[in-house]
Amino acid sequence: MDIKHVEKAIKQSWDKDTCYPKLADQWTAENPALGQCAVTALIIQHYFNGEILYCEHTNHYWNKLPDGKKIDLTKMQFAKDTKICQDKIKSRDEILNSQSAIQAKTAQRYQLLKQRIEQKFQK
The predicted-structure confidence for 60-117, as pLDDT tens digits, reads as follows 999 999 999 999 999 999 999 999 999 999 999 999 999 999 999 999 999 999 999 9
Provide the whole-model pTM. 0.96
Dihedral Cα 109, 3, 67, 14, nearest 10 deg: -20
The domain total for the chain is 1
pLDDT of 1 reads: 80
**Mean pLDDT value across the chain:** 96
pLDDT of residue 123 exceeding 80, the answer is no
Q: Give residue 45's domain range.
A: 3-122
Contact call for residues 2 and 47 (beta carbons, < 8 A)? no
How confident is the model over 28-36, as a mean pLDDT? 97
